[in-house]
Amino acid sequence: MRAWTLPMLLVLCGSAIATGLIFRGSVGAAAALLLVFVLLAGAHSPLVFPRSIGALEAQRRSAADGRPVVYWRPGCAYCLRLRTRLGRRARRAHWVDIWRDPAGAAVVRAANDGNETVPTVVVAGRPHTNPDPDWVREQLPGAV
């Protein structure tokens, strides 16, 4: 539920502002503003990211197939930047939402001096905090 807090707040705020604009007679502006808030909510929701798995499962899979593990959380602009820059290749990594998985949050805290700094990408057992998306793309299988 925590992952949906920011998106829900964005939709609620956009709805409230749009309602005020409708009462003032600005239906077009209200529709445009509401659309912007809905798009922002979608961009910050878990829907934009590949399906998250638990940290232990991600580590097991990564050990078997060599794919990076990306620890992220909804609402993180840097996580969204990484996800956007990876494009469809993002599905080649294992994604762990640290707000849904306490073990994932613990991995991130251990790698970042007790802070939950994301994205933290683990490649071959080594954590990399907020790495360059181009570098992450190179670590994905089938990268060209």
Q: What pTM value is reported for the model? A: 0.72
Rounded to 5°, the CA angle 109-92-70 comes to: 10
Domain 51-139 in CATH 3.40.30.10? The answer is yes
Q: What is the pLDDT of residue 47?
A: 74
pLDDT tens-digit readout, 8-59: 999 999 999 999 999 999 999 999 999 999 998 887 777 777 788 999 999 9
Instruction: Indicate the domain borders of the chain.
Output: 2-47, 51-139
Reported as type and span, the H/E element at residue 72 is: strand 69-72
Q: Please give the pLDDT value at position 143.
A: 56
Contact 119, 71 (CB under 8 A): yes
Q: Give just the sign of the alpha carbon dihedral 99, 105, 111, 115.
A: positive
| Mean pLDDT across the chain | 91
